[in-house]
């Protein structure tokens, strides 16, 4: 079961990273985007456990933009 959860977790991280990449590419001012976008980038990193909290901000901003 833990292998399945690890796979699902990596897929979720990939989705966050793809979302970050698309929004970064569309951003007119890349520097301005990175002021807040770095939280999204770091939270998409699956290895660093304490950065997972950044996903709350990502989900919140995604909900606002949808």
> What rounded mean pLDDT belongs to the chain?
76
List the chain domain ranges.
2-65
Q: pTM of the entire structure?
A: 0.62
Helix pair 54-65, 2-26: axis angle to 10 deg: 50
- Give burial (CB, 10 Å; 0-12/13-18/19+) of 33: middle
Question: Would the pLDDT of 40 be above 90?
Answer: no
Give the model's pLDDT for residue 27.
92
Q: Render pLDDT for 48-65 as a digit per residue (tens, 0 to 9).
A: 555 555 555 666 565 666
Query: For residue 26, what pLDDT band results from cuts at 50, 70 and 90?
Result: very high
């Amino acid at each position: 079961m833990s292998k399945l959860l690890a796979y699902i977790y990596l897929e979720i991280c990939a989705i966050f990273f793809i979302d970050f990449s698309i929004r970064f590419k569309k951003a007119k001012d890349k520097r301005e985007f990175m002021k807040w976008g770095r939280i999204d980038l770091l939270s998409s990193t699956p290895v660093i456990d304490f950065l997972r909290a950044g996903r709350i901000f990502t989900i919140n901003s995604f909900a606002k933009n949808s």
